[in-house]
């Protein structure tokens, strides 16, 4: 006779099931919080890297561009150019409008010229651009690309035809094009403007107007303000004796400008809703100094932004 032994099978009690469920919920909550923190960290890192990249690109672009101002092709003296170039345009307190025409483009006697943000109606002074308030406007001129063949000259573009002793300015299809001769080169002459305005999406951006295309191009977004300080050469030696803003001196002093200090206020491209406390954006408590200009953000939660000031010094060719 055989005996079969049955073991008692015990299940979970209701209390044990409830305890295990609660523990599981706490574990899931921890995992969710970890993922949430990871997402916020990624968002913050992306915001920080975006404005740092924008700031570096903007300053490098401006330095490279401004260093080309004042170039006169093969020439070293503006007096070698015909027709005779008039004195620089009126000082920064002007109220009349400039049409950005041929005479304005040819104003090579003013390779660097600027308007300060405090100038009322700065956007209406030049017909070819419109800038945001609270930001400076920088105009710079000079020869740009050398054109190797007459056939490559473009209609309505401005050129300097020169050797190492004389030069002639002309606008293709408007003025008589000089006959190409040995020892002479064609150089395209451009006047450009750097300024800040909002793009179609409402993001403040650095723009550049180019006289050769008679149009503006968005260079980099996220630049809220540009402030320019002009370093004036000392009468003794080549060092900079002082930095001033555009309306602080007259036309007669522009040829003493040897360096530019550029201050850019750059913000993150996308808002970060976590950069706030008690419903207020944290950056609103900061004040940013750009030269003699100060800026305090007025962000509205949840559209909160990170910001940083980028500063660089540009040595002009006439100051070397």
Question: Which tens digits make up the pLDDT trace of 89-141?
Answer: 444 443 334 678 888 888 888 889 888 875 545 555 677 888 888 889 999 99
Residue 6 has pLDDT above 60, yes or no: no
- What is the value of pTM for the model shown? 0.81
Distance CA 294, CA 134 (A): 10
Rounded mean pLDDT, 67-86 = 85
Residue 253, pLDDT above cutoff 50: yes
Q: Say what percent of the chain tops pLDDT 70.
A: 81
pLDDT: which is higher, 86 or 148: 148
- CA R_g for the chain: 30
Query: Looking at the DSSP assignment, which residues form a beta bridge with residue 261?
Result: 229, 313
**What proportion of the chain, given as a percentage, has pLDDT over 90?**
44
pLDDT at 240: 83
pLDDT digits (tens, 9 = 90+) for 209-224: 999 999 999 999 999 9
Rounded to whole angstroms, the Cα distance separating 159 from 143 reads 8
Closest C-alpha to 113, from 78, 139, 137, 136: 139
| Alpha helices per DSSP H over the chain | 14-66, 102-105, 122-125
pLDDT number for residue 320: 52
The CA angle 73-74-76, to the nearest 5 degrees, is 95
For residues 277-285, average pLDDT = 91
Q: What pLDDT is recorded for position 93?
A: 41
Peptide bond before residue 282 is cis, with ω within 30 degrees of 0: no
- What rounded mean pLDDT belongs to the chain? 83
Q: Which structure tokens are listed for 205?
A: 């951006």
Residue 132, SS3?
coil
């Amino acid at each position: 006779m055989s005996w079969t032994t049955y073991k008692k099978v015990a299940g979970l009690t209701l209390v044990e099931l409830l305890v295990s469920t609660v523990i599981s919920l706490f574990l899931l909550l921890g995992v969710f919080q970890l993922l949430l923190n990871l997402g916020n960290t990624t968002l913050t890192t992306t915001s920080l890297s975006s404005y740092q990249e924008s700031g570096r690109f903007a300053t490098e672009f401006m330095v490279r561009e401004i260093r080309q101002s004042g170039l006169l092709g093969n020439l070293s003296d503006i007096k070698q150019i015909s027709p005779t170039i008039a004195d620089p345009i009126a000082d920064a307190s002007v109220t009349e409008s400039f049409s950005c025409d041929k005479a304005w483009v040819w104003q090579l006697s003013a390779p660097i010229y600027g308007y300060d943000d405090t100038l009322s109606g700065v956007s209406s002074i030049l017909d070819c651009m419109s800038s945001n308030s609270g930001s400076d406007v920088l105009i710079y001129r000079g020869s740009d690309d050398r054109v190797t063949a007459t056939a490559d000259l473009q209609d309505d573009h401005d050129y300097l035809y020169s050797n190492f002793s004389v030069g002639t300015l002309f606008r293709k299809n408007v003025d008589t094009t000089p006959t190409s001769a040995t020892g002479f080169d064609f150089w395209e002459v451009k006047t450009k403007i750097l300024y800040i305005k909002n793009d179609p999406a409402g993001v403040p951006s650095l723009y550049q107007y180019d006289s050769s295309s008679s149009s503006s191009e968005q260079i980099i977004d996220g630049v809220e303000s540009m402030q320019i300080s002009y370093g004036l050469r000392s009468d003794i030696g080549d060092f900079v004796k002082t930095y001033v803003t555009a309306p602080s001196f007259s036309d007669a002093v522009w040829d003493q400008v040897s360096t530019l200090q550029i201050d850019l206020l750059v913000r993150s491209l996308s808002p970060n809703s976590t950069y706030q406390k008690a419903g207020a954006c944290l950056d609103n408590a900061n004040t940013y100094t750009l030269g003699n200009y100060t800026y305090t953000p007025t962000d509205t939660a949840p559209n909160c932004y990170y910001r940083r000031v980028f500063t660089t010094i540009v040595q002009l060719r006439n100051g070397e």
